């Protein structure tokens, strides 16, 4: 059987131990592998100490260079059936080259989350005002949605974001595909390995600190939530884990008041599974929050915000509580920590949410069938997306020549 080729162009080399985005990318890689696709993973970023070793999966890799015609020859000779761009910035850099040199390849954009939604929410928080839909109409929104229009299919991880794109921006649903996190269900065996209520200690938070929502959450936690919580539980302790902690976060370490900065977790799931409650006061963000999904997987209840639980809860059912008011947040954190019956009920909610929302058997095969349909009907699909061809034409008239200019400038240095 001849394998179909998928070229993945990563914005970074994935670090599944550092970020939800890294875990998500490996889910997509494994999904394609499970359906017998040949995968080539490439990126123009530098590999880091914690980058995933694709040799473990028998996957070929390719280091790319920005603004370099060598990519044209590479993608032309590779002749992939599918090219997957990891976030819109990568599509901006390489999309026009793929369109010119592998025109028959299906172009998929993996959004991860809507960057313009996260950015506009962050701006509202920074300006200390209520977020409004009008905030969405930004330059970043124009760039990200233009990227979606140029692609044949955009993967959307959040049902909320699917609705937003259709309702506010009127994006053709034929260009969008809802694909949440993909995981195996929590089994009775998994549950049997969890530490029980009385063997768990303290609160915890975890996150990649390159990600602005995580930095803001820890700062807000330290200043607004933790002092009030310590009044109610004087000996409470919270463990703050995460990759790439800036000095501003490290300096928050305060052993006297139980606010412990732990740095990168060597085993993230073990750290989550040993805590009694996760606290995640996320004031802005987008997509699906990997830390909250992992909390469910570890049987660890969480207290978060409306944005934290967005598109994850089941009609209000949550693995704990999601609230925005500080006093309500603190009360929920204390209630979960002190009352075993409340805690155990939250754990059961988490199992239900996880198994219903993120079962890869419910989503993975259907996605692969959809992609196969698009590959086999690509001329008609692109004809129906005439606006997308206009966006691509404009890109070829602008981005292409800027890139060629940079390339020429670099070659003369």
Equal CATH topology for 5-183+360-411 and 188-357: yes
The CATH number assigned to the domain with range 188-357 reads 3.40.50.2000
Q: Is 279 exposed, middle or buried (0-12, 13-18, 19+ CB in 10 A)?
A: buried
The CATH number assigned to the domain with range 5-183+360-411 reads 3.40.50.2000
Q: How confident is the model at residue 404 (pLDDT cuts 50, 70, 90)?
A: low
298-313: average pLDDT: 98
Q: How far apart are alpha carbons 121 and 282 in whole angstroms? A: 11
Q: How confident is the model at residue 398 (pLDDT cuts 50, 70, 90)?
A: low
pTM of the full predicted structure? Answer: 0.94
- Using an 8 Å Cβ cutoff, are 282 and 289 in contact? yes
Sorted by where each begins, the domain ranges of the chain are 5-183+360-411, 188-357
State how far Cα 296 lies from the chain centre. 17
Please determine, for residue 87, whether its predicted confidence score (pLDDT) is greater than 70: yes
Cα 47 to Cα 25, 73, 87, 367: the distances in Å are 15, 23, 18, 29
> Tell me, what's the pLDDT at 394?
73
Q: How confident is the model at residue 392 (pLDDT cuts 50, 70, 90)?
A: confident
Sign (positive or negative) of CA dihedral 252, 254, 259, 260:
positive
- Residue owning tokens 């970074």: 12
For Cα atoms 259, 263, 265, give the angle at the middle one, nearest 5 degrees: 110
């Amino acid at each position: 059987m001849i394998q179909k080729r998928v070229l993945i162009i990563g914005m970074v080399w994935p670090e599944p131990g550092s970020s939800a985005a890294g875990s998500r990318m490996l889910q997509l890689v494994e999904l394609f592998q499970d359906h017998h696709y040949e995968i080539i993973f490439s990126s123009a970023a530098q590999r880091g100490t914690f980058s995933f070793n694709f040799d473990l999966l028998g996957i070929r890799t390719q280091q790319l260079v920005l603004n370099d015609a060598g990519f044209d020859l590479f993608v032309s000779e590779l002749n992939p059936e599918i090219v997957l761009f990891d976030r819109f910035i990568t599509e901006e850099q390489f999309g026009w080259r793929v369109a010119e040199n592998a025109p028959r390849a299906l172009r998929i954009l993996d959004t991860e989350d809507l960057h313009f939604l996260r950015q506009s929410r962050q701006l509202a928080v920074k300006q200390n005002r209520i977020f409004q839909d009008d905030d969405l109409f930004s330059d970043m929104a124009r760039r990200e949605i233009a990227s979606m229009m140029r692609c044949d299919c955009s993967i959307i991880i959040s049902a909320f974001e699917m609705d937003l794109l259709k309702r506010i921006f009127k994006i053709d649903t034929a260009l969008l595909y809802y694909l949440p996190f993909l995981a195996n269900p929590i089994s009775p065996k998994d549950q049997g390995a969890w530490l029980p209520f009385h063997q768990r200690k303290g609160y915890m938070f975890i996150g990649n600190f390159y990600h602005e929502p995580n930095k803001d959450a820890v700062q807000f936690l330290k200043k607004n939530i933790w002092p009030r919580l310590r009044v109610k539980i004087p000996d409470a302790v919270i463990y703050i884990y995460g990759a790439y902690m800036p000095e501003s976060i490290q300096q928050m370490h305060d052993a006297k008041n139980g606010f412990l900065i732990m740095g990168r977790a060597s085993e993230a799931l073990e750290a989550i599974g040993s805590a009694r409650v996760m606290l995640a006061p996320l004031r802005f963000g987008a997509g699906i929050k990997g830390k909250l999904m992992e909390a469910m997987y570890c049987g660890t209840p969480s207290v978060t915000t409306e944005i934290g639980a967005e598109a994850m809860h089941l009609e209000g059912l949550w693995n704990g509580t999601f609230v925005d008011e500080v006093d309500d947040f603190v009360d929920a954190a204390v209630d979960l920590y002190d009352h075993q019956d409340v805690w155990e009920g939250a754990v059961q909610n988490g199992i239900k949410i996880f198994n219903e929302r993120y079962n890869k058997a419910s989503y993975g095969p259907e996605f692969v069938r959809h992609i196969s349909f698009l590959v086999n009907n690509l001329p008609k699909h692109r004809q129906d997306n005439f606006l997308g061809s206009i966006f691509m034409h404009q890109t070829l008239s602008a981005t292409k020549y800027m890139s060629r200019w940079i390339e020429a400038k670099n070659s003369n240095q």
